[in-house]
Amino acid sequence: LPLNLEKDVELIDTLPSNFEIDNEIVKLDLKNAISKLPDLQKQVIKIIFFQGKTQNEAAKLLGTNQVEISRIKNRAIDSLRKILVC
């Protein structure tokens, strides 16, 4: 087959880099791991990490205090580490 350098370069330009592929895999793994958390831990993770709220703001939204939110967040992170390592 004759090589068409322009078309080959265009094809290569459209392929995602290994970093982009790895990043998508990590996102899917994390999403799957978060789905396995208890509801309250899921809520806290989403409020703090995806909505960018502070622990105090999360506490107000969930009707509790910052110390409890910190505990829930730490338990959730520990659980996510265990889920993702397996």
**Total number of domains in the chain:** 1
Q: 44 lies in which domain range? A: 40-86
Q: What is the dihedral of CA 45, 72, 82, 22, to 10 degrees?
A: 10
Asked if the structure places residue 13 within a domain, the reply is: no
Task: List pLDDT tens digits, range 54-66.
Answer: 999 999 999 999 9
Return the pLDDT at 53: 98
Neighbours of 19 (CB within 10 A): 8
Instruction: Answer whether residue 3 is part of any domain.
Output: no
Residues 6-54: tens digit of each pLDDT: 555 565 566 667 777 777 888 888 999 999 999 999 999 999 999 999 9
**Does pLDDT of 1 surpass 80?**
no
- Where residue 3 falls (left for φ over 0; alpha for ψ -120 to 50; beta otherwise) is beta
